[in-house]
Amino acid sequence: MNQDTICAISTAQGGAIGCIRLSGTEAIRMVESIFTPATPSKKLSEQKPYTLTFGQIKDGEEVIDEVLVSLFKGPHSYTGEDSVEISCHGSAYILQQVMQLLIRNGCRLAQPGEYTQRAFLNGKMDLSQAEAVADLIASSSAATHRLAMSQMRGGFSKELTTLREQLLHFTSLIELELDFSEEDVEFANRDQLMQLATHIREVITRLVDSFSVGNAIKNGVPVAIIGETNAGKSTLLNVLLNEDRAIVSDIHGTTRDVIEDTTNLGGITFRFIDTAGIRETSDTIESLGIERTFQKLDQAEIVLWMIDASDALKQIEQLSSQIIPRCADKRLILVLNKADLISEGQQKELEEKLNGLTTKDIHHLFISARHKQHTDALQQLLISAAQLPTVTQNDVIVTNVRHYEALKHSLESIERVQEGLSTGISGDFLSQDIRECIFHLSDIVGEVTNDMVLQNIFHHFCIGK
């Protein structure tokens, strides 16, 4: 357990109430040295845990503020240590005065994520649950909130623990066989081990496959807006984001780099990517932007391929030979912009040509981004194309890249176990592969994680959590 005591402001600036949190062996004594209870007999160190005490914070005889002090005694606290929370008025001056008093009395300013890191080190939660705390704070939609709550409550950890315990049982039996190698005995039934390996491979595969959904829920479904120059891509981005995020101009090649931003449509976060217009150019900077356009096309799950409806016949001819094959593994929506500039007859002619090219998996829509005509219908198409499942707090979906990488390594290990069982490989090699699988599963919950990984994880937390 840590010996020093830390403090930090745990609330954002601007609120009516501010909270200062302390944690450590001297937390109660340090607050007691600057806190005068309204009832003199109510000495803070003598109060029961989970109680509130009203009083004043003083600097000598000067009253800084009237506050409420919450008391939590270890190990039954968030960090597992003695903890105190001071609720005072939200004035930045008051909060800083109280912080200075605490630091003068020997308290240390907490590092980002240090409270949650102490909770992990003191066994109050495993590493995947600690990471979920940051995800919960950052959650911006109902789906991200549910996923973070599920992970913080240990749904993911429980599933991994079950797999590890089953593997540990078998590897201990195999290693016991190695101790009796001269007697040629078999403690671990190979058929049962194969059944277990098959089951574990199925579970890990499901978790690995869930990452694409989890990543889309957490970071937004990537949508690339692609097309020739001056098709209206930047105008559409501004409409979808409901703000002037990209420069709009009639000059070809205005957008020379990738612009990304997120917005929430129908409870789903979309990450829209406005790209440089595709055309033949000798401009070096614009060429680099076009190169990035194709990189973002490869990364996107949904592609909005924008076509200038007033000059669409040429591009429609290119659809079947170039655009559709390039987007074979994407959800493609053909957006014919500037539909207000063509006649009903021209639109009907374009419709007939498009119907011969597109399928139920490829949608097309006529819009006017400038006049916001049919952009609501486009939003509905995007929501439908996202194909995200309804998420509950009981769902186990991987959203963390570190977890995803560890699961891929564990999947490789368990596949080697299956292969070894099929070929009759010796027990010592089987045991090694099983232990590698256990190692990577344990890495997710922090049982084998080194200090560098911990520092990287908690460095991204906010101060005060």
Query: What residues contact 452, with CB distance under 8 A and at least 6 apart?
Result: none
Question: Is 235 annotated as belonging to a binding site?
Answer: yes
Question: Is 150 annotated as belonging to a binding site?
Answer: no
How many structural domains does the chain have? 3
Question: Is 15 annotated as belonging to a binding site?
Answer: no
Residue at 116 is within a domain: no
Question: Is 338 annotated as belonging to a binding site?
Answer: yes
| Tokens describing residue 282 | 């000798």
Element housing 171 (H / E): helix 155-179
Q: What is the CATH number of the domain that holds 75?
A: 3.30.1360.120
Question: Which residue in the block uniquely carries the two structure tokens 């005065």?
Answer: 97
* Binned average pLDDT, 10 residues per bin, the chain of 465 residues: 82 92 96 93 89 95 95 94 96 96 94 92 90 85 82 86 85 70 59 87 92 84 83 85 58 53 84 68 50 67 86 71 72 88 85 71 85 91 82 78 93 92 83 90 79 70 76
Give me the domain span that covers residue 429.
142-210+396-459
Question: Is 339 annotated as belonging to a binding site?
Answer: yes
Question: Is 255 annotated as belonging to a binding site?
Answer: yes
Question: Is 124 annotated as belonging to a binding site?
Answer: yes
- Co-location of 238 and 374 in the same domain: yes
- Co-location of 296 and 200 in the same domain: no
- Co-location of 204 and 221 in the same domain: no
Do 315 and 265 meet the contact criterion of CB atoms below 8 Å apart? no
- Co-location of 371 and 406 in the same domain: no
- Co-location of 18 and 103 in the same domain: yes
Question: Is 79 annotated as belonging to a binding site?
Answer: no
In this prediction, residue 156 carries a pLDDT of: 86
Residue at 123 is within a domain: no
Q: What is the CATH number of the domain that holds 452?
A: 1.20.120.430
- Co-location of 18 and 151 in the same domain: no
Question: Is 105 annotated as belonging to a binding site?
Answer: no
In this prediction, residue 216 carries a pLDDT of: 82
Question: Is 276 annotated as belonging to a binding site?
Answer: yes
Question: Is 21 annotated as belonging to a binding site?
Answer: yes
| Tokens describing residue 13 | 């600036």
- Co-location of 345 and 310 in the same domain: yes
Q: What is the dihedral of CA 414, 416, 418, 424, to 10 degrees?
A: -140
What span, in angstroms and rounded, lies between the C-alpha atoms of 134 and 113? 9
Question: Is 230 annotated as belonging to a binding site?
Answer: yes
In this prediction, residue 252 carries a pLDDT of: 43
Question: Is 218 annotated as belonging to a binding site?
Answer: no
Report yes or no on whether pTM surpasses 0.75: no
Question: Is 85 annotated as belonging to a binding site?
Answer: yes
Question: Is 254 annotated as belonging to a binding site?
Answer: yes
Q: How buried is residue 91: exposed, middle or buried, by Cβ count under 10 Å (0-12/13-18/19+)?
A: middle
Cross-strand bridge partners of residue 66: 56
What span, in angstroms and rounded, lies between the C-alpha atoms of 24 and 148? 27
Question: Is 274 annotated as belonging to a binding site?
Answer: yes
- Co-location of 237 and 220 in the same domain: yes
Residue at 368 is within a domain: yes
